[in-house]
A and B are shown apart, each in its own frame.
Chain A
Amino acid sequence: EPEVTQTPSHQVTQMGQEVILRCVPISNHLYFYWYRQILGQKVEFLVSFYNNEISEKSEIFDDQFSVERPDGSNFTLKIRSTKLEDSAMYFCASKGPEQFFGPGTRLTVL
C-alpha cells in the first residue's frame, strides 16, 4: 500500500541553524501539506502546495519557513534559522481523495 515517508525521524539542531525536513508523498497525489504538532497540543496547518507553488499558508508559516519540490518526488520544508519554539513534530501529508500523513519528524531545537 502506498504511503507517505519522512526523513529523518528525529532531528536535533542548535538554535539558529537551518534544517531541512524531507517528505516523499504518494506518487499520484497532487496536493501536499506540512503540519506541525507541538508536544501535547493539537496539529496545526503550516502550508499547502499544489502545482509547484504554495496554495495556502498559515500565520505560523513566516519568512523563516520555505517549501519546495526540487525533483518531482521529494517535498521539503526548510526552516532557515531555528528557534526553540520550533521544537515539534512535523507531519507531511499528501492528498488524492484522502489526506494521508507521514510518520512525522521530531525536531528538537537546543
Chain B
Amino acid sequence: AQTVTQSQPEMSVQEAETVTLSCTYDTSESDYYLFWYKQPPSRQMILVIRQEAYKQQNATENRFSVNFQKAAKSFSLKISDSQLGDAAMYFCAYRNYGGSQGNLIFGKGTKLSVKP
C-alpha cells in the first residue's frame, strides 16, 4: 500500500522569505501523481501544485515550486516570497495513475505560520 509521510508537523517563515516543506512517499508503482493541497482555517482543500511522476521537470506555479526526486521518493514544496495568506495546513498527497483508482492518499500535514 502507498503511504505519504510529512515529517514536519509545524513550520514557520518570515514574510517575504522562502520555506520548504518536506514530503516522502512509498509506492511500488512507476506512474503516479503527487500533489500539494493547502487547507486554510476555512478548511477548504485547495490544490496548490501537481507533479506527474513521468515528468522529470519540476512543476512550478508562480511562487510555488516542487523538488521532485523520484528515486528518493521525495516531493518537497518550496514557497518563495512568503505571504501572510500562505499561512495554512499543507498536505502532500499521492494518487495512482489512471482508471478509477484515483483516490488520494494524504500525509498528516504541515502547519505553516507566516510571521509579519
Interface residues, chain A, with chain B CB atoms under 8 Å away: 31, 33, 35, 37, 41-45, 48, 50, 55-56, 58, 89, 91, 93, 95, 98-101, 103-104, 106
Contact = CB atoms under 8 A, between A and B. Distances in A.
Contact size range, B: 20 to 34
Contact of A48 (B44, B103, B105): B103
A45 B101 CA distance: 12
A43 B45 contact: yes
Interface string B95-107: 1000011111111
A56 B93 CA distance: 18
Given A43-B91, A98-B50, A31 B42 contact: no
Interface of B: 37, 42-47, 50, 91, 93, 95, 100-109
* Interface secondary structure of A, over-half rule: strand
Given A91-B45, A98-B47, A103-B44, A45 B103 contact: yes
B104 A99 contact: yes
Nearest to A100: B47
A99 B102 contact: yes
B107 to A, nearest CB: 6
